[in-house]
Amino acid sequence: MQEEDPISVALKEEQVSPNEAPRLSVLQWFRTNLFSNWANAILTILGTLAAFLMLRGVLNFVFSENREWVAVRTNLRALMTLSYPESQYVRVWVALGFVVGLAGLSAGIWSNWGGLPLRRLATWFMGVGGLIALCVVVREPSVIIGTDGKVVRTIEGSPQRESFMDAMVDRSGWWIAAVILLAVGAVLWSRFSSPVRRRGPRAELSITSVVFVGIGLVILSLWVVPYGHYAFVDGTYIAESGTTVAFSTQMPWTVMWVILGLTFLVGRFLRSSRYVGMAKTGSNLLWLICPFALFWVVLRDPALDYGHVMSTDLPMGLAFGLLGGAVLWLLTRSDIGEIGRITATALLVFAVFNWVAAFFGWYPMLQKARISFLLLALAALLAPNFIGDTAKRRQLVLGWLGVMALVHYLATMINTPSTVDLQSDEFLGGLGLTLFVAVIVVILSFPLGVLLALGRTSKFPIFRMLSTSYIEVIRGVPLISVLIFFSVMVPLFLPDGMELAELAAVLTGYTLFSAAYLAENVRGGLQSITKGQYEAADAIGLTAAQRTGFIVLPQALTVSIPQLVGQVISSFKETSLLAIIGLFDFLRVANSVIPAQSEFMGVKREGILVVAMIYFFFNFIISKYSQRLERRVGLGER
Amino acid sequence: MNIDDATAAANDRLADRDDMIVCVDVDKFYGDFQALKGVTATIKEGEVAVVCGPSGSGKSTWIRCINRLEVHQGGDIVVDGIELTNDLRNIEKIRSEVGMVFQQFNLFPHLTVLDNITLAPIWVRKKPRGEAESMARALLERVGIPEQAEKFPGQLSGGQQQRVAIARSLAMEPRVMLFDEPTSALDPEMIKEVLDVMKELAHSGITMMVVTHEMGFAREVADRIMFMEGGEIVEVGTPEHFFTNPTEDRTKLFLSQIL
């Protein structure tokens, strides 16, 4: 009898109409995809074998009797923030709570996931159950621990292992978990696996219920699972040894997860309300501001002198806001003509002169005032764009008031001494420092990189030359040397009395470095824009700035998303080079701090494995997000 | 230059109108190659001028000089009384009065049709968004595709894209429209829908300068046809003169090849 090909068999069995894609049964899928011919079959078998051996290796490593996971569990706090003072720790929680809340809000506002089909849930259950069962079988039998608590050894000295059957019995807990998962999955599957078209509406869980069940399970686990012994700071346990992480941090973590759930609900509500546009803009803006605001919360707490605030800071801010606003209001009159340009230019000259004067010490003017004048001059230069009806003019003036409020607030706060008592230079380390550096560097280097790319493709030779030489010099130098240069050399060149904190110096160097690479990625995007786009923008009368902002950059950045995300990921990973110049980044805590503790002398592998997993977790999220982003912005080009 | 009776009559009809585009001895070089050799022509307000000629004759170069997408090296170009010089303000002023439609449409692929049309009115003309949008919808109605406002250019056919491009130019309420081979990149079945829109425009009284090979269109709506070859204007005349009684041998040769 002649064999029929699987697809026509499937067509017959499923009674699918020919214009729908046929569904293959599991066996048929295997035959068409994995064992279609001899070569394919051999590759499949070899690949499976390799995956099997790797899994076995990882499992044996993780569950080996030599592993001291307690070192990681005890040092969780050190891995996260290293030596941030215990008395101020509430700041870290506040900052984390804010980020978690913002994440929940954004997820709620932006998520366009439909529900979770029970069918898929069933495959997940069965998949996890199957994986557990596989792991239980694959792992080599445990060594036998004698009554004295020591490993029983054979005559040759290698540890004695229990028999395979005993190992299976020992792991019966895992077996039960696997069987339960498989059973639940199978029941769900048999109930909901049929194609939609034959059994009414598709059965699925709403996304809200999925999120809340998930959060509920995590919170429950906080109070049940002993995640780890609690913190070890400056050589002493903060909580009693033997208790779990839950006893000191289960409450804050519970609050975090509750915040996540609640803000997610708020986000979902906003998504369906008519404020959705405003909410999207607002949450984006908050994401941009929050790193700076939060590191502020974590690192500083100004002790305000209210007498000075009332007598100087507040009146000055108000004066700049109101008078500057009035000037801008006048400059946007439709009959202003040449006077506008002259005033703006005069303001700019005056503002720049203030800085020169301050540099040479001709007359003292508060830095705040100098910054404000400079901003006012820039706003005056922008004013012609806002000439028009009252609404447009009001936009400019209100924007000005907002900027003034922010600038004067920040300037006042920065110039006030902090009450946070940071004992040493290494006040922050671990994951906190790594994230701090990565986020700040990415946010700051982005605009700089875009400017450099624009400069390099500019038609003005001077911009082109400067940007090109900058980019080429930076790209020709290793990151480590840039970091060393900024941490060691730059302080030597600074004038007397001027200090640059190590971290600030490093951030500057790293930002400049990262910007050069970003610039090259953006340039690739810029080159993909056709000449026709420039001509069309010119022909409808856009100015060069409008052409760049509305036509060229949006398209260029869209094209370069994959490379930009790659750059973000590598910026994040390369923060581990900070260890070279003496900062205690995430990896260094695992690599040098933990192994140096007398309790865990030389225990390195466990920490590094955990650190690698956490790096991977973050980068996985970034790359998933970028895939979604690519799909979304790709819409316009279909 | 040859002027027969019909052309003289057309020139009389146009004589009392204001000059819209005046070109005097315009030269344009690409390196050693001279693309325009002393092009001199005047286009009156409300006139529909069709420029034709073999490829490489300089007709696209000329039309692109008029809103300074190309820079001319010799001679003067005056559009609506504003002379084209290096002064950025003059260039901006002229560009906001002169609409241009390209062979390759050049729509902005990342913006919806509506945003393509409203971008310049909002940011160059400083119109409120609501007003700009209602005008854009009216223009889409005029070019016959009101239902495509929310789509992206990539989702439209070539003919529809070119009509959006025309609407985008019209949104600036230009006094002059330049068409640079607007139908050359279109599939044959889409040419008519674009030409229909252009005919409607021509009858509305806007000044138009059209570089095209569509001789049917030229015969039907042009006030004057200019024939270019080798960077020079060889012959100018009404459609009647041009198609029935051309005087220059080069014109005759061109017509015998194209008709």
What's the 3-state SS for A130-166? HHHHHHHHHCCCCECECCCCCECECCCCCECECCHHH
Q: Write out the two tokens for A239.
A: 């909580």
**A-B contacts (CB, under 8 Å):** 79
Residues with Cβ within 8 Å of B186's Cβ and at least 6 positions away in sequence, in order, are B158, B159, B162, B194
Q: Write out the two tokens for A586.
A: 């995430």
Nearest CA to CA, how far is A632 from chain B (Å)? 11
Distance CA A340, CA A333 (A): 9
Residue A344 pLDDT > 70:
yes
Q: Are A527 and A457 in contact (CB under 8 A)?
A: yes
With CA atoms as reference, the chain B residue closest to A633 would be B110
User: Which residue type is seen at A103?
Assistant: A
Can you spell out the DSSP letters for B199-221?
HHHHHTT-EEEEE-S-HHHHHHH
Mean pLDDT for the stretch of residues A304-332: 85
Mean pLDDT for the stretch of residues B116-132: 91
Q: Write out the two tokens for A303.
A: 């002790």
Closest to A212 (Cα-Cα) out of A252, A179, A260, A177: A260
Lowest mean pLDDT among A148-152, A186-190, A423-427, B123-127: A423-427
Contacts from B32-38 at CB under 8 Å and sequence distance 24+? B34/B231, B35/B61, B35/B231, B36/B61, B36/B62, B36/B65, B36/B72, B36/B231, B37/B230, B37/B231, B37/B232, B38/B74, B38/B75, B38/B232
Residue A247 pLDDT > 50:
yes
Radius of gyration of chain A (CA): 31
Q: Which residue has the higher pLDDT, A254 or A244?
A: A254
Mean pLDDT for the stretch of residues B164-187: 93
**Domains delineated in chain A:** 84-271 (no CATH), 305-416 (no CATH), 422-638 (1.10.3720.10)
Pick the residue of A540, A546, A560, A637 with the most B CBs within 10 A to test the interface with B by mutation: A540
Q: Write out the two tokens for A463.
A: 């911009």
Q: Are A452 and A470 in contact (CB under 8 A)?
A: yes
Sign of CA dihedral B78, B81, B83, B88: negative
Q: B108: which chain A residues are within 8 Å (Cβ-Cβ)?
A: 533, 536-537, 550-551, 555
Residue B40 backbone phi and psi in degrees, to 5: -125, 125
The closest CB to that of B109, out of A389, A540, A637, belongs to A637
Query: Looking at the whole model, is its pTM more than 0.80?
Result: no
Enclosing H/E stretch for B225: strand B224-229
| 3-state DSSP of A151-220 | ECECCCCCECECCHHHHHHHCHHHHHHHHHHHHHHHHHHHHHCCCHHHCCCCCEECHHHHHHHHHHHHHH
Distance CA A131, CA A177 (A): 11
Contacts from B245-251 at CB under 8 Å and sequence distance 24+? B245/B4, B247/B2, B247/B4, B248/B2, B251/B227
Residue B54 pLDDT > 70:
yes
Residue A638 pLDDT > 50:
no
Say whether residue A597 is in contact with chain B using an 8 A CB cutoff: no
Longest dimension (CA), chain B: 55
Q: A555: which chain B residues are within 8 Å (Cβ-Cβ)?
A: 108-110
With CA atoms as reference, the chain B residue closest to A632 would be B110
> What average pLDDT is seen over chain A?
82
Q: A543: which chain B residues are within 8 Å (Cβ-Cβ)?
A: 92, 124
Residue B240 pLDDT > 80:
yes
Check residue A10 and give its pLDDT: 47
Q: Write out the two tokens for A430.
A: 């671990």
pLDDT in tens, A208-228: 888 889 999 998 888 777 665
